[in-house]
Amino acid sequence: MAFFRSLYLSRLFFTVLISIVFLFLLAFMMPWLFSIIQVALLVFGVLIVMDILLLYLPGQTLMARRDVGERFSNGDTNPVSIFLENHYNFSVKLEIIDEIPFQFQKRDVLFRTELATESQQIIRYELRPVERGVYSFGAVNIYVQSPIQLVKRRHRFSQDQQVAVYPSFLQMKQYEFMAISSRLTELGIKKIRRVGMSQEFEQIRPYVPGDEVRTVNWRATARRNELMVNAFQEEKSQAIYCLIDKGRVMQSPFNGLSLLDYAINSTLVMSNIALIKQDKVGVFTFSDKKGQILPAERKPGQLQRIMELLYRQKTRFLETDYELLYVNLKTQIRQRSLLLLFTNFETVNAMRRVLPYLRRLAKDHLVVVIFFENTELRSLLTKPAQTTEEIYLKTIAEKFFYEKQQIMRELQQYGIQSVLTPPEKLTVNTINKYLEVKARGMI
């Protein structure tokens, strides 16, 4: 039975068979064709037997495997490789069909190639997941044809392979490399010239635009005949918490990823940067129920614990309970901390409902509310309106755009920092805000 399950007929087989049938029908009008048909059938049968023997003789086989790494990075393109080895005594034609996980909704992962005897080849392609979780691959199906090309033999490899999709660790590594090599500006991170204003003196250096006038060292200025300023060491071991809203407002999609996944990816990058800056980092998730909390630490393995916590987060489709958030933070976080709150407000009224709890948090901590700009509304604003419908749409877009700006102004009025950002620039803008807060010594 295994033999019949692995044997398939090629297009050439059916083409030849149809030609023979056509000749057979034509033979009723021209009887002399029957002898040609008999010879053709005999040759056809012999070729089929030879083709099967070539593909199924002992020692004639093909080896293959799929290499996908231990895990995928969410929202990024991840490489997949298929390794092929031909152990047939002749060159073969191959059709490779990879059964990728259903989450990708792709059924066209098909490759055609030729492979010489005792040679190897690597086929590479990429997959971009947009959901965290476990992805299950099926088999790598390889259909082999000999030079006769009448039948195919199917081989199956790497069946039931599973890969876990984690928050974007590729993005995290990219920012980590740039931070270590002092090249963050290439990714859009602003260069903050001013050093933190702790009382621990570091050095006297020349003045650069952006330095505080109160840091000017007048004695050194008089000696050097140029403006010199006192520089102080940045505060270290400060507590940074990323608060991630898992309510329904974070379910909105953008470029395949939900806003929650954008927040999770940015939290991972932000946590790594803060640890490089020698701060303590923690994570707090919340929705209509109490979420998970990871206390701010700078111990070895903290980044891995953050990644595992973020990997397990799921969106809940109910309204977020900010009163519960306030109570939990009040009991769990004792020291003054920087709270980076990832959420979304579409209207001023939505923000005002939670404003009392944000104001209470701002009494004990430095709160930065990070919410999302609707990029489709911005495209409507820049597009000229031609019809009555387009005018209505543009008016509505202007109303929502104005409300986003009003939200920022009202938060600022109560001493709450805010960041309004497109989803694709969330990571850059969050890091910029963190560096700004550190430079100004606001924590």
SS3 content of the chain, % helix, strand, coil (to 5): 40, 25, 30
Which CATH code of 2.60.120.10, 3.10.20.740, 3.40.50.880, 3.40.50.410 fits the domain covering 169-189+236-440?
A: 3.40.50.410
Degrees to nearest 5, angle at CA 302 with 301 and 304: 65
Structure tokens at 78: 């991840």
Q: What burial class does residue 150 get, using C-beta atoms within 10 Å of its C-beta: 0-12 exposed, 13-18 middle, 19+ buried?
A: buried
Using an 8 Å Cβ cutoff, are 192 and 435 in contact? yes
Using an 8 Å Cβ cutoff, are 271 and 434 in contact? no
Task: Reply yes or no on domain 1-166 having CATH 2.60.40.10.
Answer: yes
Q: Under the phi-then-psi rule, with left for phi > 0, alpha for psi from -120 to 50, and beta for the rest, what region is 160?
A: left
Question: Which sign, positive or negative, has the C-alpha torsion 264, 265, 267, 272?
Answer: positive
Please list the pLDDT of the chain residue by residue as tens digits (443 residues).
666 678 888 888 888 888 878 877 777 777 777 788 788 888 888 999 999 899 988 878 899 999 998 899 999 999 999 999 999 999 999 999 999 999 998 887 899 999 999 999 999 999 999 999 999 999 999 999 999 989 999 999 988 899 999 999 988 988 876 665 555 555 566 655 544 444 555 678 888 776 777 778 888 888 888 888 877 655 667 899 999 999 998 988 888 899 999 999 999 999 999 998 889 999 999 999 888 999 999 988 999 999 999 999 988 888 899 999 999 999 998 889 999 999 999 889 999 999 999 999 999 999 999 999 887 777 776 777 778 777 777 777 788 788 888 999 999 999 899 999 999 999 999 998 998 888 777 77
Q: What burial class does residue 393 get, using C-beta atoms within 10 Å of its C-beta: 0-12 exposed, 13-18 middle, 19+ buried?
A: middle
Residues of the chain with CATH 2.60.40.10: 1-166
Residue 195, pLDDT score: 46
CA 281 – CA 303 distance, rounded (Å)? 9
Residue 196, pLDDT score: 44
Using an 8 Å Cβ cutoff, are 166 and 157 in contact? no
**DSSP output for 159-213:** TTEEEEEES-HHHHHHHHHHHHTT-GGGGT-----SPP--S-EEEEEE--TT--G
Residues in the chain: 443
CA 426 – CA 372 distance, rounded (Å)? 8
Residue 269, pLDDT score: 94
CA 438 – CA 429 distance, rounded (Å)? 14
Helical axes 426-440 vs 259-276, angle rounded to 10°: 40
Residue 233, pLDDT score: 57
Residue 217, pLDDT score: 85
Under 8 Å CB-to-CB from 282, ≥6 apart: which residues? Answer: 239, 240, 241, 242, 293, 294, 295, 296, 297
Residue 287 main-chain phi, psi, to 5 deg: -160, -135
Residues of the chain with CATH 3.40.50.410: 169-189+236-440
Structure tokens at 24: 């057979």
Under 8 Å CB-to-CB from 236, ≥6 apart: which residues? Answer: 277, 278, 279
Amino acid at 439: A
Q: How many of the other CB atoms lie within 10 Å of CB of 437?
A: 20
